[in-house]
Amino acid sequence: MLITEFIQAVHYNKELNPKLWSNNILRREVRTKLLNIAQDFVKFIALPNINLKDVTVSGSNASYGYGEHSDLDLHLVVTMPDTPHIRELFDAKKNNYNYNHKIKIQGIDVEVYVQDEAQPHHSAGIYSVLDNMWLSKPTHKVPKISDREVRLKARGYSSMVNKALKADDLNTVRSVMDDLKRLRKTGLDVGGEFSVENLAYKLLRTRGQIDKLHRHLQKLKDAQLSLENR
């Protein structure tokens, strides 16, 4: 049974989001805007050649599990060089772009990502915006979700976030953020979008706790770079 609070974050619907899809194909005006966003993000990255292979959408809004608070995940799929600083640059650019841009498609928040084509991407549906076709078409199968397991996992995640919010040490906050990402990724790898780990993470995001954690991390970064008057 879906927990009452979580229904705000995830539903399971009979059709794909009609704001985005028509006859299971991305609406023309939506596709045009997403390509414009991808182009703008490429310019923002400002590298001579990012080895772009595809532009895709995935996540809840590319499947039947979208809800009121579901965003639209837009991925630039690239051939990632085996260079740690380039990966860090992509992450920094992604975070900066998402933080400073509040782009919406039909009222839905758009989140941009840089995805390594060599890394597996777990999603119920993956759609190529470039080729205008499904790479992995979602199937309609109502998931079984344990109220108790999601609540327990969310409680554990919430404790981690609260610990980080009380910490004034940048490394501690980064460590908690990394732990949350790792736990969520493990859940996605094993159980997909409706894994207990991913649902618990989404529940905290719906509550605003993940956003608070990001803001606290940015605040500590700014403080570290600042010099106070004496």
Give the per-residue pLDDT at 59: 86
Report the mean per-residue pLDDT for the chain.
Answer: 86
* 11 band by pLDDT with thresholds 50, 70 and 90: low
pLDDT tens, residue by residue, 135-148: 999 988 766 777 78
Task: Tell me the sheet residues that pair with 55.
Answer: 76
Is pTM beyond 0.75? Reply is no
- Which of the four CATH numbers 3.40.50, 3.30.460, 3.40.1420, 1.10.10 does domain 4-136 have? 3.30.460
Rounded Cα–Cα distance for residues 133 and 136 (Å): 9
CB neighbourhood size of 52 (10 A): 16
Reduced to 3 states, what is the DSSP secondary structure of residue 221? helix
pLDDT surpasses 60 at 1:
no
Token pair in block for residue 200:
């618990």
- Compute CA distances 57 → 120, 129, 161, whole Å: 15, 7, 28
Going from N- to C-terminal start, the domains of the chain cover: 4-136, 147-225
Q: H/E element holding 180? A: helix 170-191
Q: Is the pLDDT of residue 73 over 80?
A: yes
125: which residues sit within 8 A by CB, 6+ positions away? 58, 62, 63, 134, 136, 137, 138
Residue 126 pairs in a beta bridge with: 58, 136
